[in-house]
Amino acid sequence: MTANPSTAGLADVSDAEHLVRQDLAAAYRLVALCGMDDSIYTHISARVPGRHDQFLINPYGWLFRDITASSLVKIDLDGRIVGHSPHDVNPAGFTIHSAVHAARHDAACVLHTHTVAGVAVSSLASGLQPCNQWALQFYNRVVYHAFEGIALDLAERDRLVTNLGPTAQALILRNHGLVTLGRTVAEAFILMHNLDRACKVQLAIQASGQPVHPVPHDVAERTALQYESGSNKRLPGQPDPHAREWQGFLKRLEPGAPSSFRD
């Protein structure tokens, strides 16, 4: 996408931040389009380029389908609004996202959902099972955090970060929902799209009552590595492996939209 610094409400931000705002607003709308939103709740945040102490998040009370680049709120790790915004943010969103952004500087984007399938799998003692190709992307790579109630207690952040660890990109919040981390907004969204589909397939399999065809450990691990080969193992200077799919998703937003996510 090409930055347009003249867009109303974005004249004071850098071109790099403007592009991140556009991608983040697009992710909000895509989450809604894919049915992964939950009224005005859950959140997607993106680190402000060049900063480890500031991130962008949705204005509390807005539907995801209506988020725009200029409506996103910039806050710091203490929850203070940076710059001028007429909006506030969801305290639970601040708790989760500030914890991750403070601890994981590799996470440019953090995406949290309460999908029916995700909440269902998060509530199963067995958690996510390696029973389908989408799930194998997360084979031995998804971590869990115990439910402690609505995430309003800032003291929970330390425990969440400990459970997340230094490298995991998929976190299941027990009895609560799903979280993905990406080095780009595109990566976080595509990981969540695949994680939620993995949960949907698992529930469909379990509902059938039929035996599950097992995947051997070596095949499961090889499949996970195949997914990683296009992202974690790419060399510096190579194109973003998620860019092609992300551009495809973006094309779903424009036709007939009452307003642009880029505004």
Residue 1 lies in a domain: no
- Beta strands, E only, the chain: 43-47, 54-57, 73-76, 109-113, 142-145, 170-173, 177-182
The pair of three-digit structure tokens given for residue 180, joined into one six-digit string = 């993905």
Rounded to whole angstroms, the Cα distance separating 167 from 230 reads: 17
Residue 231 lies in a domain: yes
The count of structural domains within the chain is 1
The pair of three-digit structure tokens given for residue 63, joined into one six-digit string = 């539907």
Residue 115 lies in a domain: yes
Residuewise pLDDT in 10s, the chain (263 residues): 333 333 445 768 899 999 999 999 999 999 999 999 999 999 999 999 999 999 999 999 999 999 999 999 999 998 888 987 888 888 777 888 999 999 999 999 999 999 999 999 999 999 999 999 999 999 999 999 999 988 878 889 999 999 999 999 999 999 999 999 999 999 999 999 999 999 999 999 999 999 999 999 999 999 999 999 866 445 455 567 788 899 999 999 966 555 677 77
CATH code of the domain in which 192 resides: 3.40.225.10
Rg (CA), the chain: 18
Residue ranges making up the domain that contains 146: 15-250
Residue 260 lies in a domain: no
At 130, the amino acid letter reads: P
The pair of three-digit structure tokens given for residue 93, joined into one six-digit string = 């969103």
Residue 163 lies in a domain: yes
Rounded to whole angstroms, the Cα distance separating 260 from 22 reads: 10
pTM attached to this predicted model: 0.90
Evaluate whether 1 touches 249 at the Cβ level (below 8 Å): no
Rounded (5°) CA angle 249-25-155: 115
Residue 3 lies in a domain: no
Residue 107 lies in a domain: yes
Q: Residue 261 contacts by C-beta under 8 Å, 6 or more apart in sequence?
A: 22, 25, 26, 28, 29, 67, 68, 69, 253
| Three-state SS at 182 | strand
The pair of three-digit structure tokens given for residue 234, joined into one six-digit string = 């790419």
Residue 263 lies in a domain: no
